Structure 1
Amino acid sequence: MERWHNRVAVVTGASSGIGAATVKDLLKANVVVVGLARRLERMEAYKAELPADQQKRFHPFTCDVSSQESVDKAFDWIIEKLGGVDILVNNAGIFKMGQAVTLDPVQLQQMVQTNVMGVVYCTQRAFKSMKERNYDGHVVIINSVLGHAIPAKPNSGAPVMNVYPPTKFATTAITEVYRQEFRGLKTKIKITSVSPGLTDTEIVPDNIKTGELPILKTEDVTSCILFTLSTPPHMQIHEITVKPLLGE
């Protein structure tokens, strides 16, 4: 991780869960980190608990990744104040329980806008910053095992995942699109998808977290992020899938 010392990483969805854990691990690795999230107070609260040297390198900023205007405002500030973006961790995502055939279309659209277009908005700005500075940065997308296969459980009733898996399938596809585009545009910018299984975060309903299903910790996912960032420049990890040991 030495080559990332004092470089600038942007982490979306940084107010809790995998995003907050990623911020803390990157700060420990001597990276300058901008946390983007709607809940600024959450980020300010855990910033106050960090060691003094890490506090100086952490910059919380209010941002709703589903809004291009909000993303542009955040990235304009980052470029003006910090000079550019070297690492992007696209972590922000939402999940609403219900069936696709009955759930409020507004909620369905919110998932698509956040989980898919949020990645697009942020990656466009990060890529532009990297390419303009001729810097070989790294884009990480927090995907899901549901972006590769949708489990079918006979006799278990109608599933409640609705369009969440399709948004993650889109993430899987766009990871490959970005790989081809980054290469075709003559850059050495890396792209990696990290696909966790069930993870203990706020978007997972309590009845699932308190059940008998094996579940990952957020730190299990951040260890994958730091691993892929630590690889040598000539090596790209396209996909990391991580599941609980006894999970499906």
Structure 2
Amino acid sequence: MAIVTGASSGIGLAIARRLAAAGYDLAICARRQDRLSEAAETLRRQDIDVLAQTVDLRDEAQILSFFAAVKGRWGRLDALINNAGLGYKEPLMTGSTAAWREILDVNVLALCICTREAVTLMQPAGTGHILHVSSMSGHRVPAIAGIYSATKFAVRSLTETLRRELRAADSRIRISSISPGIVETEFAQKYHQSAEKAQATYSQFPVLQAVDVANAVAYVLSQPDYVEINDILIRPTQQTS
């Protein structure tokens, strides 16, 4: 079975659908109860077991409750997809401290907490796969990146740090990340707080769709146990940076 965070829309929902099609039972979480319930009902039509729980990833107690529910229901975990993430256009010179804190809490700290709890669930079997949905912003700094790009550089570092910890522990748990470029989701509208700027972002050339990232996730998870794909960089063909 697999956990997908931020699964109520966009890339997370596409990943959940792709894994359901592959036969995974799923535990999904997100903040928006209505969207999460709708996603869960859609997934159950694929004849899999689905646990859906509202979780604010800024609250460790809610994360721990979610993982406890997974343990109680299945007693194991095969894959964790750390998909949840967010960004705001908040420059370092003038940005809001509250916005910076929210980005750090969700993109970095929650990812670390989920990863720790996933490893705990995977250790009895000695196998499993943790996959971070990162960003090309973790490989280069785009214009007006604010703190968002810094969090994705942190995810890149955390991926390699965990790989080394797992190897030092002689664990067969694998760690991967996928770093997409521009993907048409709700992200740009939230980032810019503007529907017009989001439309401009997604109409400049054919951009990635959420299903493209979901297919990359399925590819990574389908590899034999001795293959560990550490990062996939995936851009629209016409994206220059």
Compute the TM-score of the two structures, normalised by the length of structure 2: 0.92
User: The residue matched to 1:48 in structure 2 has which SS?
Assistant: helix
Quote the offset at 1:208 in angstroms: 4.1
CA RMSD of aligned residues (A): 1.4
> Which amino acid in structure 1 is aligned with residue 196 of structure 2?
N
Deviating beyond 6 angstroms after TM superposition, the runs of 4 or more aligned structure 1 residues are none
Q: How does 1:1-248 map to 2 (within 5 A)?
A: 8-50=1-43, 52-54=45-47, 56-131=48-123, 133-152=124-143, 159=144, 161-205=145-189, 206-211=195-200, 212-248=204-240
Q: Percent identity?
A: 30
Deviation track 1:160-197 (CA, whole Å, cap 9, x = no partner) reads x2100000000000000010011111111110010000
User: The residue matched to 1:194 in structure 2 has which SS?
Assistant: strand
Structure 1: gaps spanning 5 or more residues: 1-7, 153-158
Quote the offset at 1:83 in angstroms: 1.0
- Gap change, CA 1:137 and 1:101, over 3 Å in 2: same
Looking at structure 1, the residues matched to 43 and 105 of structure 2 have their Cα atoms a distance apart, in angstroms, of 32
Deviation track 1:40-99 (CA, whole Å, cap 9, x = no partner) reads 221211333446343x42221111222211110100111011212210000001111131
User: The residue matched to 2:187 in structure 1 has which SS?
Assistant: coil
> Which amino acid in structure 2 is aligned with residue 218 of structure 1?
A
Compute the TM-score of the two structures, normalised by the length of structure 1: 0.89
Looking at structure 2, the residues matched to 33 and 83 of structure 1 have their Cα atoms a distance apart, in angstroms, of 13
How many residues are paired up?
A: 232
Quote the offset at 1:213 in angstroms: 4.3
User: The residue matched to 2:2 in structure 1 has which SS?
Assistant: strand
Looking at structure 2, the residues matched to 58 and 196 of structure 1 have their Cα atoms a distance apart, in angstroms, of 27
- Gap change, CA 1:134 and 1:47, over 3 Å in 2: closer
Retained in 2: the 8 A contact 1:40–1:60? no
